[in-house]
Amino acid sequence: MKDTDTSGENKHPFDYDLYVIGGGSGGVRASRIAAGHGARVGLCEESRLGGTCVIRGCVPKKLLVFASQFSEAFADASGYGWQVAGAEFDWPEMVAAKEREITRLEQVYGRLLEGAGVEVHAGRGVLVDAHTVVVDGQRYTAEKILIAVGGRPAVPEMPGAELAITSDEAFDLPELPKQILIVGGGYIAVEFAGIFNGLGSDVTLSYRRDRILRGFDDDVRRFVEAGMQGRGVTFRYHDIPVGIETLDRSPGQSHRRVHFKDGSHLDTDLVMFAVGRNPHTVDLGLPEAGVQTTDSGVIPVDDHSRSNVSNIFAVGDVTDRVQLTPVALMEGHAFADSEFGGHERPVEHANVPSAVFSQPQAASVGLTEHEAREQLQSVEVFRSSFKPMKYTLSGRDEKGMMKLIVDEASNRVVGIHLVGPDSAEILQGFAVAVRAGLTKADFDRTIGIHPTSAEELVTLRQPVD
Ligand code: NDP
């Protein structure tokens, strides 16, 4: 977009008002909103529009979670009078269906950008100075640059690490593994453990500490762990792999041997690392543009997502604030409103709700009990653990958990933690209440919807000791 007036002179000193590197959640939202405010916007994407969330993250993950939950539904169905005989799962069919949906969404993103007037360039963008991005040999200049390149799965260094997969490859495996070892204890490890287990693989999860989901409320961690164990996932705690080798594969036999620090080994079909994600900033030209990063490649930014270079901004996972899609969307939107909409909007990361699509599912907002006891003078905890109604006839022996953390001085609900069916759907609405600073008395005044699990949250009367 070389903008010239009738005299042939450049009307604008730069090709664009904004150039965005990365067409994922944060980059696409920022560019669309900025263009809506009248900015001339260019964007480059080296892979597929939609980024991690749409192409190899939240969306295909949730589709696989749906696929994996049918085995549980079939098992529960007989308690309700159904006979579901001969159900079989076809992995390639599921992968193909997932791919069709991802391609549809990718095209939707393309059309949205086009409709907003954003010029999209396919290729990897590299900064050559603070105002210039080169994409496939083509130079584009811009007054402001937004870096929204996201992250890539981390792979620990060890002999044979290349024999393992990460979540990137897990979505398109040629076949479903009979056995899989998943390394890590965070979101991705527990979600994929549930997916593979539900689809019929024999799953072992190896975590270096004592319990999965560090950082979540301890009751959430206990209930998720118990539910996963009840469904057949094996946990291997206090150990980490130190090497992986290939075994000769004869039909029906494992073909990876994983050596652990304690000297033991495990034979399995497939090893998957889910040990966090690193910012994708290598060879991005950040030093050439003067942009500072931390040792791990993260771009530090201020409340307005501005880097140390005044015209260069960054949003999303590359800034490692909270690695969640809705947070990247909020950051991208706030950036565009502030810089191009004349409406100052700093980012806010307080009370971000999140869900783990593990089986059983978990969702949290606000302070954990541990954090509340550390930060507040006096805390009341209300907790209920109960068998979801659906499990009565199905005979499934599993309890859900709901927990409210209340600041005794103000009576405000400062944390909610759920484990059980539909936790994510239930929590979204209650997150508004926490965000709005509502009190336990407000919860008590609210009439429940019967019979639901969610009504527990408005009928908890006695604090636990
Ligand atoms: P997490 O940071 O959630 O978990 C990483 C796990 O790997 C931790 O258990 C960590 O252990 C462990 N670990 C780290 N380094 C090593 C190592 N060298 N060897 C062995 N174990 C190691 O990262 P994920 O990869 O699970 O997910 C990345 C991000 O993606 C998350 O932070 C999350 O924000 C986002 N995400 C969100 C989802 C959702 O909202 N539902 C779903 C999937 C991802 P330790 O606890 O000891 O540090």
Query: In sequence order, what DSSP letters do the residues of 341-384 get, joined into one string?
Result: SS-------TT--EEE--SS-EEEEE--HHHHHHHSS-EEEEEE
In whole angstroms, what is the distance from residue 93 CA to residue 175 CA?
11
In whole angstroms, what is the distance from residue 312 CA to residue 289 CA?
9
Average pLDDT over residues 72-101: 96
20 DSSP 8-state letter: E
Residue 302 has pLDDT above 80, yes or no: yes
Find, among 293, 295, 272, 274, the residue nearest to 284 by Cα: 293
DSSP H or E segment with residue 425: helix 423-435
In whole angstroms, what is the distance from residue 69 CA to residue 198 CA?
6
In whole angstroms, what is the distance from residue 15 CA to residue 138 CA?
12
Tens digits of residue pLDDT in 101-121:
999 999 999 999 999 999 999
Average pLDDT over residues 355-378: 98
Out of 205, 214, 237, 323, mutate this one to test ligand 1's pocket (max ligand atoms within 8 Å of CB): namely 323
Q: How, if at all, do strands 312-314 and 138-147 pair?
A: parallel
The neighbour count for residue 162, using CB atoms within 10 Å, is: 9
Q: How, if at all, do strands 179-183 and 234-237 pair?
A: unpaired
What is the strand order of the sheet 241-246 is part of?
Answer: 241-246, 256-260, 265-268
Residue 250 has pLDDT above 70, yes or no: no
What is the pTM for the complete model shown?
Answer: 0.96
Tens digits of residue pLDDT in 310-338:
999 999 999 999 999 999 999 999 999 99
Does the domain at 16-153+278-340 match CATH 3.50.50.60? Answer given as yes
Residue 412 has pLDDT above 90, yes or no: yes
Residue 207 has pLDDT above 60, yes or no: yes
Does the domain at 360-458 match CATH 3.30.390.30? Answer given as yes
User: Of all atoms in ligand 1, which is nearest to the CA of residue 323?
Assistant: 34
Confidence (pLDDT) at 2: 47
Asked if the domains 16-153+278-340 and 161-275 are classified in one and the same CATH topology, the answer is yes
Residue 4 has pLDDT above 50, yes or no: no
Residue 313: what residue type?
F
Residues with Cβ < 8 Å from 172, sequence gap 6 or more? 95, 99
N-term to C-term CA, the chain: 66
Residue 248 confidence class, pLDDT cut points 50, 70, 90:
confident
Confidence (pLDDT) at 465: 80
Out of 56, 169, 277, mutate this one to test ligand 1's pocket (max ligand atoms within 8 Å of CB): namely 277
By CB neighbour count within 10 A (0-12 exposed, 13-18 middle, 19+ buried), where does 39 fall? buried
Ligand 1 proximal residues by C-beta, below 6 Å: 156, 183-189, 191, 207-209, 214, 240, 274-277, 323-324, 354-357
Q: Is 450 in the active site?
A: yes
The residue extents of the domains of the chain are 16-153+278-340, 161-275, 360-458
Residue 177 dihedral angles phi and psi, to the nearest 5°: -70, 145
The CATH class for the domain spanning 161-275 reads: alpha beta
Residue 425 confidence class, pLDDT cut points 50, 70, 90:
very high
Query: How far is the centre of ligand 1, averaged over its atoms, from the C-alpha of 264 (Å)?
Result: 24
